[in-house]
Amino acid sequence: MKNGKLQVGIIGCGGIAHNKHLPALKSQSDKCDVAAFCDTVLERAQELADQYGTPDAKVYTDYHELLADPAIDVVHVLTPNVAHAPITVAAFEAGKHVMCEKPMAHASADAQKMLDAWKKSGKKFTIGYQNRFRPEVQNLKKACEAGELGDIYYGKAHAVRRRAVPTWGVFPNKALQGGGPLIDIGTHALDITLWCMDNYEPEAVTGKVFYKLGHLPQATEGNEFGPWDPETYEVEDSAMGFIRMKNGALINLEAAWAINLRESKEASTTLCGTLAGAEILSGMGYPVDQLIYNRGRNGQLMEEHISPKGNVAYFEGASGEPGVVECKQWLEAILNDTEPLVRPEEALVVTKILEAIYSSDKAGKEIVF
């Protein structure tokens, strides 16, 4: 702490740091200073330090040097997926609080190492699942907790883009990311589905992973972010999972960066309960995020629509933006010694299920937990 503020270090100065974390941290300048930046590309770290850092902000290319600074209280790990575990473990060993971007890790063994290091550290730990903080997701969570849907026995986790393959950073690099749309955006849809259902006990998973469009030059036509390079595209273009839970519930997960499907749903969920159902509609196909409840009432089938206003991702200064709300509650959890909303134990289950989908496809059989 310095001048009553938490001192934050950023490890990984790419797009998610620039577009989500640093604007959010800037909005919480009464609680924190961003005092250190680290990236393998020095110029990238320096650029963000100049824009968001304190006047004396330090810049590094080796994260060990940043972690060795006793003035740093909190670290945000914003690197490619395969680096999450070693950096997070080292951060806890250095006595730092850690916010790690989603997914927790590319493999469950690494995620478990992160969890073990956290438990030994006595520090705070959370994962960047900001979609939980969207107003319609919060509304649905409260309805589920109140029992308004009854016994939720079936869910769908939607993370489908018709054509929106990211063409920047290392997204198509399997060695650095561990996978494609399943681990990148499927993780968000699965997180909000499990969270609303309050069900973290999978029994078995069957998955199918498709490498159909990524290497087709003609498939790049119409991509939201411009044509990708089919020669360097290493990850899946879509993946589907069939998840059986121990209590008998079932979840279908669909994830795609590129698929010939008209409707695009991302970070969306559909829940079916014995008393009512609910559906969150979000993504490129919807100008405004929607929450729709469906139930029987007064002898008729009814639908109740909730459409929060505003749908501009990471609009700086928007206090209701999920990334800002996420950041605020994270810093307050450290300052007030409370628990952050996203718990590492829950994020570990998400990673285990995603890994099981990949493993099921590779093995050609169901993976039993």
Tokens of 20: 């989500």
Q: What's the mean pLDDT in 275-296?
A: 93
**Angstrom distances, CA of residue 185 to CA of 44, 165, 171, 350:** 25, 11, 11, 12
Residue ranges per domain, the chain? 6-129, 132-322+349-368
pLDDT digits (tens, 9 = 90+) for 215-253: 999 999 999 999 999 999 999 999 999 999 999 999 999
User: What is the pLDDT of the chain when averaged over all its residues?
Assistant: 95
Residues 6+ apart with CB under 8 A from 203: 244, 245, 246, 368, 369
Q: What's the mean pLDDT in 308-336?
A: 74
Q: What was the pLDDT predicted at 287?
A: 86
Model confidence at 3, pLDDT cuts 50, 70, 90, reads confident
Pick from 77-91, 202-216, 265-279, 299-313: least confident: 299-313
Q: Does 132-322+349-368 match 6-129 at the fold level? A: no
Model confidence at 79, pLDDT cuts 50, 70, 90, reads very high
Which residues on adjacent β-strands are paired with residue 279? 270, 292
Pick from 38-47, 164-173, 326-335: least confident: 164-173
H or E segment at 109?
helix 108-121
How does strand 58-60 pair with strand 74-77? unpaired
> 278 and 292 in contact (C-beta within 8 Å)?
yes
Say if residue 318's pLDDT is above 60. Answer: no
pLDDT digits (tens, 9 = 90+) for 101-149: 999 999 999 999 999 999 999 999 999 999 999 999 999 999 999 999 9
Q: What's the mean pLDDT in 264-293?
A: 94
Rounded distance, CA 232 to CA 31, Å? 42
Q: What was the pLDDT predicted at 309?
A: 54
Model confidence at 312, pLDDT cuts 50, 70, 90, reads very low
CATH 3.30.360.10 correct for 132-322+349-368? yes
CATH of domain 6-129: 3.40.50.720
